[in-house]
Structure 1
Amino acid sequence: MAFERKVVPLKGDTPGAVTEFTYYVIGPRDAPEKVHLQAALHADEHPGTMVLHHLLPMLRQADDQGLLRARFTVMPLVNPLGMATFALRRHIGRYDANTGINFNRRWPDLFSAIRSQLNGRLSDDERFNVNLIRKAVSNWIDAQQPRSANEQLRLLVLKEAHDAEFVFDLHCDDDSLIHIFTSPELMPELQDLADWMGAAATLTAADSGGGSFDEVLPQLYRKVALANPGKPVPMASATATLEYRGQSDVFDHFGADDARRLWGFLCERNLIDTDPGARPAPLSEATPFDATEIVRADRPGLVAYRVELGERVTKGQPVADLIALDGPEAFMARTPILATTDGLVLSRAMAKYAPRGAGIMKIVGKTPISGRKGAYLLED
């Protein structure tokens, strides 16, 4: 049994700057499986931090009682660097203020990093291959010389996450229902996770185009398998982004209920030795992410929504109006914005002033949308 609080100093990029990164390692050191949980990679998204705030005492008690069957790494605030970025009293936690890069984009391509270490070494034993891949990743991480505080942070997170059987990155949207992003190979395996969470949608993509954290390990195993036909290479890490509603939904009652639901999933998977109770009934099934429409404003205006979260809409239905802010009918004209697919209204933008091209809504459909397939699927 172990409940360890770890504090790692991240050397800053300016004189005298040091940021403390605090996280927890919990459970038997010799456990056969590992679970990695992290929240607030986008440092301005805090519902996941609230979930882990409620989950940590549950894990601590379970560890005291000898109920943990897995080793847990829990990072409730995985991006302390982003917590420091304010401009004009606004927290800018989504982007690195120095580079402008989204904190959840451009994570390393581990296959390219370790490919040469694997050449000719894979066997016909699946477990051997997984261990070989993980050892190669660990060696690559240890060999790196980080050039910035952000690189230090990323390498530390990868070091803890790369050998986990379950890797869950807790985020939130703007104003949204609960949903999941994951790889198509992991469904329907993770349908139980969706059911426990009460997910309104599970969106799958092999490559959404941005190099996000939740795709690092699936891309690694997928590419190794493709490069080594005939060798057994499983999708050894069940990795997903868990979207817990919207940015303003940081409340104890949500966090406590979401933690109990995540606990239920962990118990049903025998990662914690206690009865989870009955699994909740499913609310949705997985759909390809390229079937989700990102509704965008085709001109600047003030957004007036016509539909609510969770509402089902049809192609051609007006879902919002844009109120003109300039031109001959400024502040009087309204231009309807139409859905281009049938589906569920999953999220909406909280900011009602939309410049041209701004995404204002996501509608989850079932049929891939022309122009989305093979394209950059993310909003930014």
Structure 2
Amino acid sequence: MTFQLHHTNLAGDTPGVSTKLYWYTAGPEDADTRVHLQAALHADEQPGTMALHHLLPRLRDADAAGQLRAHFTIFPSVNPLGLANYSLRHHIGRYDIETGVNYNRRWPDLYPLVADAIAGRLTGDGRANIATIRAAVAAWIDSQEPRTAIQHLRLLVLKSAAAADIVLDLHCDDDSLKHIFTSPELMPGLQDLADWMGLAATLTAEDSGGGSFDEVLPTLYRKARIAHPGHPIPAGAETATLEYRGRADSFDAIGEEDAKGLFGFFAGRGLIATDPGPRPAPAPAPTPFEATEVLRVDAPGLLAYRVELGERVSKGQPIADLIAMDGPEAFMARRPILAGTNGFVLSRVMGKYVVRGAGIAKIVGTDILPARAGAYLLED
């Protein structure tokens, strides 16, 4: 059996503090395909951890039966530092409270860091070129001297991901339907993942603007491809952010369903030598993330939603009413917040008191929105 639990100590940034990071490995070390799975990079998002809790016994049993055809590395809760960010009974798992940086932002742009190391070493063999790039990334990571616990954590996780062929980062939204973020060149290759997840949407962008984890490797190989047009450089990793509904959706039955979908995806790929079960219904085709409106409010107030998740809406249709909380008609006046595009409601916010500028819903359309083209696409 190859199924094994590992841990490493992350030295703390203050006296007497250290944190353990746990992960599992399973499958042949010399397998042709390597899979990296992680959940709860935003440490306050637990549905992915619940899904991996239910996936791990399936992988353990498949390993015992000799069915694993890939090497799996699984971080069920990849950010124990974020788990400790608790203040006044509130978990601040999305941000590093020392720096204020979102844990899923500002991951490194790897190509400039390895460009010199791969210069003159690429050939006409695409697989060999991927191996050369991976070796350069691993060498760069090994050369780093992390100054903080979060830098240590990031380098450790990035080294695992950079060696993998499939990299899945499990998250959730606030109150949401299931969806994926991925790079456009990886579709329709990841359509089978979308199908097995039973998604409402796959949203694609080459660069969403924030340096998120799922864009690190596609950006690396894309930039290498552009810089070396005479050498074949395939997409070295299929990467995606998997958004498993909303924060409140951490339940056994849901986690079991999500684990079944992941297991089916891997079995359908031949990475687990077992029957994946009935093929799921096709998920919707991908749409550019620039066609998704992040609907915002221009004043503070209390939200009263008029629409449900998944509901189709038209441009100009009221999505919610904003109840005034100050001014001459405080707690009496309300005005509609209108959709800016045609599409369906993918997500809403759970907290109904909102401040000016807050995003309150995502509406997935099909037409590129002028205000989104070339803009910062994410919510911090």
| Counterpart residue number, 2:22 | 22
DSSP-derived class of the 2:271 partner: coil
| Counterpart residue number, 2:9 | 9
Q: 1:143, 1:267 → 2: CA distance?
A: 37
| Counterpart residue number, 1:116 | 116
Q: 1:188, 1:206 → 2: CA distance?
A: 15
Q: Does 1:107 align with 2:107?
A: yes
| Counterpart residue number, 1:158 | 158
Q: Which amino acid aligns with 2:98?
A: N
DSSP-derived class of the 1:137 partner: helix
Q: Does 1:168 align with 2:158?
A: no
1:161 shift after superposition: 1.0
| Counterpart residue number, 1:50 | 50
Q: Which amino acid aligns with 1:281?
A: A
Q: Deviations over 1:186-220 (max 9, x none)?
A: 11111111011000000000000000000000000
1:230 shift after superposition: 2.0
Q: Deviations over 1:259-281 (max 9, x none)?
A: 00110000000010001122211
1:89 shift after superposition: 0.6
| Counterpart residue number, 1:221 | 221
Q: 1:257, 1:249 → 2: CA distance?
A: 12
| Counterpart residue number, 2:363 | 363
Q: 1:72, 1:291 → 2: CA distance?
A: 34
1:116 shift after superposition: 0.8
CA RMSD of aligned residues (A): 0.6
Q: 1:343, 1:189 → 2: CA distance?
A: 25
DSSP-derived class of the 1:241 partner: strand
DSSP-derived class of the 2:346 partner: strand
Q: TM-score, normalised by structure 2?
A: 0.99
Q: Deviations over 1:139-189 (max 9, x none)?
A: 001110001000000010011111111000000000000000000001111
Q: Which amino acid aligns with 2:168?
A: F
CA contact (8 A) 2:180 2:202 kept: yes
- Structure 1, gaps ≥5 residues long: none
1:283 shift after superposition: 3.3
DSSP-derived class of the 2:278 partner: coil
1:85 shift after superposition: 0.7
1:112 shift after superposition: 1.3
Q: 1:87, 1:141 → 2: CA distance?
A: 33
Q: How many residues were matched structurally?
A: 380
Q: 2:284, 2:354 → 1: CA distance?
A: 30
Q: Does 1:283 align with 2:291?
A: no
Q: 1:294, 1:306 → 2: CA distance?
A: 17
Q: 1:35, 1:321 → 2: CA distance?
A: 45
1:236 shift after superposition: 1.3
Q: Deviations over 1:93-117 (max 9, x none)?
A: 0000000000000001111110110
Q: How does 1:289-328 map to 2 (within 5 A)?
A: 289-328=289-328
Q: 2:343, 2:86 → 1: CA distance?
A: 37
Q: Does 1:66 align with 2:60?
A: no
- Structure 2, gaps ≥5 residues long: none
| Counterpart residue number, 2:378 | 378
Q: 2:168, 2:77 → 1: CA distance?
A: 13
Q: Does 1:186 align with 2:192?
A: no
DSSP-derived class of the 2:226 partner: helix
- Of all paired residues, the percent bearing the same amino acid is 66
| Counterpart residue number, 1:264 | 264
Q: 1:316, 1:20 → 2: CA distance?
A: 50
Q: 1:64, 1:160 → 2: CA distance?
A: 23
Q: Deviations over 1:210-241 (max 9, x none)?
A: 00000000000000001111210111100000
CA contact (8 A) 2:191 2:283 kept: no
Q: Which amino acid aligns with 2:75?
A: M
